[in-house]
Amino acid sequence: MSSSNLSLRSTRELQGQPNATAKVIADAWKDLYSADKNPNGVINLGVAENALMQDFLVEKLKETFSRLQTQDLNYQSLGGSSSFKEAMCHILNRYFNPVVNVKPSHLLCASGVTAILAQLMYAICDEGDGVLISKPYYSGFNHLIKQGVTLVDFEIENPLDPSSVSKALDKAYLAHQGQPHEIKAVLLCYYVQEGVLSTYIKFCETNKLHLIVDEIYGLSVFEEGPQTDDDDGDSETGPNKFISTLSLDPHRLHFDPSRLHVYFACCGLRAGILISQSNPNLLQLIKDLNLNKSNFSNLILNNPNEAGNDRQDFLASYLKENRIRLSKAHQMVTDSLKQLKISFNNPSNGGFFLMIDLSRYIDSNDDEKETEGGTNNTAEERLFERLLKECKIYIAPGKVYNYPKPGFFRLTFTVPSDQLELGLKRLARFMESFESSAPPISNLSISEKNL
């Protein structure tokens, strides 16, 4: 297609520097590992999705689809069907401990978090307005730039320390003063305890900013070691229990609740949910814009013919089993990384991935080199391509997520245990090719109890 048939902004995109890394990834996706069909294919340890519970979900989906009726195939209400939103309210009120119970009128559903954020940013930002976001962050947020939003990223020395967070926020905000467009919001996309949450809230109130909080991993928190769940599966022990922003009283913190927005999602099912409890005008605007909602996700996630008690029982058993499997997979990967003498960021008790440090395999004095096709790749990108092409391992380079230190890669551990084990052994073989002191692959013992 000739670029003359496209819009000016599309033409500018096409005229940009070719992304060699994107092409490598696209080629890898045609060669993915399969134990039966492609045993030498690429092991995917780079996508943040939870494959550990897919068997559980497939059985549930088969059961759900067996109850479908003709009306379930009709268009649903903009912003999500009432039955779907009622089901989501049950989840949020039971597991997120909100100060004010979440009602269907507080929710909007769209086809994934990307769609939710795009519509929210349209509602609260004018062209060029800024959104503060700390590094690292999900690469998908970069799509907001193409919609006219300016991402103002910044580093926090210790993102778990309220004082450090406060200093970093103030510094980033002041540094932007004098720019032609103002900052309108802060996007918080990592999980913190109440002290840090309060710091973000107070900063936003002082500067009259919207606070947008990512809570998509709120139900993917686990504990190492034995689980101690009660009968309904919703208790979590330990000091790092997930704390939702919805559980903090905005009036106690002197924060205008109309500027507080939380989003949640159902991984892999293209269902993004926006929760905004005190801004009906905002929700009405987004509802009017919300033409790309996912009817398919409504069908999957909430069949109105299913009894409420059955749904609650399934949810409790799902979350309990999910925590157990997450904990075992996390223990398996951290034990293996320690055996391989690969350091990783502070281990959390939630989510699907770790950032591992492979910086010793890149040359810090080797910045950019021209590669085949005339593009310039950093040393980190070239290491990524070696791992992908030579070792058939896909782990995502930290540069994609604006990670502040070169040489870090995102490794997803919520994959089938046989694939995780094989991927780690391929990584060990790669290390052996670099350094004679690397731990032998035979020493990489992954205990059956962790599988």
pLDDT digits (tens, 9 = 90+) for 69-109: 787 777 777 788 888 888 889 999 999 999 999 999 999 98
More confident residue, 10 or 228: 10
**What does the pLDDT average to over 164-169?**
98
**What does the pLDDT average to over 433-440?**
64
pLDDT band at 159 (very low <50, low <70, confident <90, very high): very high
Cβ proximity of 191 and 350 under 8 Å: yes
pLDDT at residue 377 is higher than 80: no
**What does the pLDDT average to over 294-318?**
66
Given this model, what pLDDT does residue 172 score? 98
**What does the pLDDT average to over 418-424?**
96
Q: So where are the chain's domains?
A: 3-54+319-450, 74-305
pLDDT at residue 231 is higher than 50: no
Q: What is the pTM of this model?
A: 0.88
Given this model, what pLDDT does residue 249 score? 93
Other Cβ atoms less than 10 A from the Cβ of 176: the count is 16
The three-class DSSP label of residue 259 is helix
| Same fold? 3-54+319-450, 74-305 | no
CA angle (312, 218, 314) in 5-degree steps: 20
More confident residue, 34 or 147: 34
The residue behind tokens 């990592």 is 190
- CATH code for residues 3-54+319-450: 3.90.1150.10
- Provide the strand spans (E) within 220-317: 260-266, 271-275
Note the helical H segments in 152-240.
162-176, 194-206
Nearest to 334 by CA among 321, 319, 353, 320: 353
More confident residue, 55 or 230: 55
**What does the pLDDT average to over 190-199?**
91
Q: What percent of the chain has pLDDT over 90?
A: 54
Given this model, what pLDDT does residue 310 score? 73
pLDDT at residue 233 is higher than 60: no
| 3-state secondary structure labels for all residues of 392-427 | CEECEEHHHHCCCCCCEEEEECCCCHHHHHHHHHHH
pLDDT at residue 306 is higher than 70: no
Given this model, what pLDDT does residue 366 score? 56
Given this model, what pLDDT does residue 301 score? 56
pLDDT digits (tens, 9 = 90+) for 238-282: 446 789 999 999 889 999 999 999 999 876 677 889 999 999 999
pLDDT at residue 443 is higher than 60: no
The mean pLDDT of the chain is 84
- CATH code for residues 74-305: 3.40.640.10
Given this model, what pLDDT does residue 450 score? 32
Cβ proximity of 135 and 154 under 8 Å: yes
Given this model, what pLDDT does residue 449 score? 37
pLDDT digits (tens, 9 = 90+) for 314-346: 889 999 999 999 999 999 999 999 999 999 986
Given this model, what pLDDT does residue 439 score? 56
Q: Which of 8-12, 137-141, 345-349 has the lowest mean pLDDT?
A: 345-349
pLDDT band at 215 (very low <50, low <70, confident <90, very high): very high
pLDDT band at 234 (very low <50, low <70, confident <90, very high): very low
More confident residue, 323 or 25: 323
List Cα–Cα distances, 427 to 358, 406, 432, in angstroms: 10, 18, 9
**What does the pLDDT average to over 367-377?**
50
What's the CA gap between 206 and 169, in Å, rounded? 12
What's the CA gap between 18 and 311, in Å, rounded? 48
pLDDT at residue 180 is higher than 70: yes
pLDDT at residue 143 is higher than 70: yes
pLDDT digits (tens, 9 = 90+) for 402-413: 998 899 999 999
Q: What percent of the chain has pLDDT over 70?
A: 82
Cα radius of gyration rounded to whole Å, the chain: 23
